[in-house]
Amino acid sequence: MKAYELVIFDWDGTLMDSAAKIIRCMQTAARHCDVNVPSADAVAHIIGISLKPAIMQLFATEDEQLADRLVQAYKEAYLHEDTIPCPLFEGAEDLLSALKAEGKTLAVATGKARRGLDRAWSNTGTGHFFTTSRCADEAHSKPSPDMLLQILDELKVSAGDALMVGDTTYDMQMAQAIGMDRVGVSYGVHAQVNLEKHHPETIVHSIPQLHSWLKGN
């Protein structure tokens, strides 16, 4: 297995176990805005896309005002109504620490807004592991490769020396679009069979398994 200079992680569903909270808060937002409450599976499918495009897709609407109301209701639910903290997946911090010790450069490409990622980093004490990051309010939404291209340009790393790790087809698609190797994780929100359609190097089923693969074991 090749040695990657740069490892880029998705956040929600890859390093942080946040899907359940995202689903609860999106369903709460729907109730507050008096629209049909989406199923858990439907919400899970749009996790990873930037918030407003995700909401417009989820609720099948082109009504900008409705989408804006749902965005605000979701944010209110996430910050103030559902106060259950989201944990990192087991082994995530150990993985990040080990990769840094091995000399890897680490980055994040996430559908979260900058404030959301900064809050997650503050809550988990993990921000220091990452050299850079791109968020939903700083780039075109996944599956556009814009986030990855910005990171590569900033760090002066070629796509061939980088790896994208994520739990959604959007992560796989954006890496595939620029010829970047990618690893899918099966413990997030998208089914393994859908990740496999985008020809990842491998599919891993846990954080420790990801670390083992990166070490070539």
Q: Which residues are catalytic?
A: 10, 12
174/49 Cα distance (integer angstroms): 11
**Residues 57, 113: contact at Cβ < 8 Å?**
no
Specify the 3-state DSSP secondary structure of 142. Answer: coil
Specify the 3-state DSSP secondary structure of 140. Answer: coil
Specify the 3-state DSSP secondary structure of 49. Answer: strand
**Long-range CB pairs of 160-164, under 8 A, 24+ apart, other chains included:** 161/4, 161/5, 161/6, 162/4, 162/5, 162/6, 162/7, 162/8, 163/4, 163/6, 163/7, 163/8, 163/201, 164/8, 164/10, 164/109
Strands 132-134 vs 105-109: parallel, antiparallel or unpaired: parallel
